[in-house]
A and B are shown apart, each in its own frame.
Chain A
Amino acid sequence: MTEQIPAVEFRHVDKHFGKLHVLRDINLSIMPGEVVVVIGPSGSGKSTLCRTVNRLETIDSGEIYIHGELLPEEGKALAAMRSKVGMVFQSFNLFAHKTVLDNVTMGPTQVLGVKKKEAEEQAMALLARVGVADQAKKVPAQLSGGQQQRVAIARSLAMRPEVMLFDEPTSALDPEMINEVLDVIVELAREGMTMMVVTHEMGFARRVADRVLFMADGVILEEATPDEFFSNPKTDRAREFLDSIAGH
């Protein structure tokens, strides 16, 4: 049996913001096709963990590997690695001056060198897949939050990423739009996309996760299957956290 190479691997990763120790000796492997959901209280370092994977945050020590390759520190090599890692933000971050279609084609045409016409066909297919094909000619400000986030997902998918990172993709959305975005992510998971998802949506976490990570104070306190974690959390911190959420 051949050993599989992790899609993302953290080895002894540490990160500070000034005096604040936000990531403490993180060791983590995400295997190809795996969906890892990260939960934990506010300020525990979930976003930071997610953002170190494509080096939107630098790390102080340790190593991060993407498919066995050390994450480059800067320059063209880093840009090339980033193009293989999709990132979806809480605040969508669509390019405000571009149409929905141009948002999705920018990466493929500029980074991958795909011809414009081909990129547009692919983009339209992706927009159809996330259910916003009819909005292709509008600019982001003309779309609802849920639609914008689905466009942002399509924009990432257009790069044919090997890994997708989601940092609280539904936290900025009105409640009635949350499911339209979560459904897209669940569908991606079903298709075998490797994903790391930070979320406060516990039902969704249960549905989509192969593995749940519970973070507190920069440490991964628990790592378990969703069934194990939600029915039988091992640490007090996790139990308190789940109670506080259930209390809402």
Chain B
Amino acid sequence: MRFIELLSTYGDMYVEAAFATWWMTAVSFIGAMILGLMVTVMRVCPIKPLRVVGDFYVQVFRNIPGISMLILVAYALPYLGLVLDWVPCVLVSAILICSAFASENFMSGINTVGVGQIEAARSLGLTFTQMMRLVIIPQALRSVVPPMTNLLIATMLTTAIASQVPVTPPELTGVVSYINTRMPYGVLAFIVPAATYLCTSLLIGYVGNKIDQRVRILR
């Protein structure tokens, strides 16, 4: 059984790879949520230039393939005097791209709040910041759980760009090439990563669903 042999030789590497994917996903997603929220606040604020910059940001980073982003970050940033290690390059790329999608999700969340509640908040004398903090963002956050669940899965898949640069230990996609350059297992080497991606996605979907049911706003 070549598959058993594969597992006994590279089992530990698979485990390490899974953890590498998971922690890069977690960091990228948290970064994307924070940056995405900031960009979204810019996009709805009363100051026009900030809105323009926010919209521009989203249009740019929503339309760059992950791998191109990585190349840009890895090879262009040094010209600006910023040299990052490979792993931070991957994280920065994933955060930039996923934050654009996060912002789109937040925008649709904000749109569920409705102009009526915004006018009510303004009528009470709340400032823009108070209105965002107390009325809009809490509702937007609670209504974006399903799309953010999808984004978390997409973020995990985006971290596969790390397979194109030398990171140690390799993550789930990188480990496949790592193994195949040493032993010709071919597609067999991809079974464990594929199953891991799938199980993680299912788990994310399940938990996301539970969270959504709990925080969803009655309307």
Contact = CB atoms under 8 A, between A and B. Distances in A.
Interface of A: 54, 56, 74, 76, 79-87, 89, 91-97, 106-107, 110-111, 139, 141-142, 152, 155-156, 159
A13 B148 CA distance: 47
B111 interface: no
B138 interface: yes
Given A95-B135, A96-B217, A97-B138, A86 B127 contact: no
Given A91-B116, A141-B217, A152-B120, 20 more contacts: A76-B127, A79-B122, A82-B124, A82-B125, A85-B123, A93-B114, A93-B117, A93-B119, A95-B117, A95-B120, A106-B126, A107-B125, A107-B126, A110-B130, A111-B125, A141-B219, A142-B218, A156-B123, A156-B124, A159-B125
A6 B117 CA distance: 29
Interface string B107-144: 00000011011011111111100100011001100100
10 contacts: A54-B122, A82-B123, A87-B123, A93-B116, A96-B139, A97-B139, A111-B125, A139-B218, A141-B218, A156-B124
A83 B124 contact: yes
> Chain B: interface residue count, which band?
20 to 34
Contact of A89 (B119, B130, B218): B119
A164 to B, nearest CB: 11
Contacts, number: 79
A15 B114 CA distance: 24
Q: Tell me if B's interface is mostly helix, strand, loop or mixed.
A: helix
B30 to A, nearest CB: 23
Contact of A79 (B117, B119, B127, B217): B127
A57 to B, nearest CB: 10
B218 A107 contact: no
Contacts of B126: 79, 106-107, 110-111
Interface of B: 46, 113-114, 116-117, 119-127, 130, 134-135, 138-139, 142, 217-219
A92 B119 CA distance: 11
The residue among B113, B122, B139 with the most chain A CB atoms within 10 A of its own CB is: B122
Contacts of B219: 96, 141
B125 to A, nearest CB: 3
Closest 6 CB pairs of A and B: A83-B125, A141-B218, A93-B116, A93-B120, A87-B123, A107-B124
Contacts of B134: 106, 110
The residue among A76, A81, A89 with the most chain B CB atoms within 10 A of its own CB is: A89
Contacts of B46: 74
A159 B117 contact: no
Nearest to A91: B116
Given A93-B117, A95-B117, A96-B218, A106 B122 contact: no
Contacts of B124: 82-83, 106-107, 110-111, 155-156, 159
A195 B124 CA distance: 16
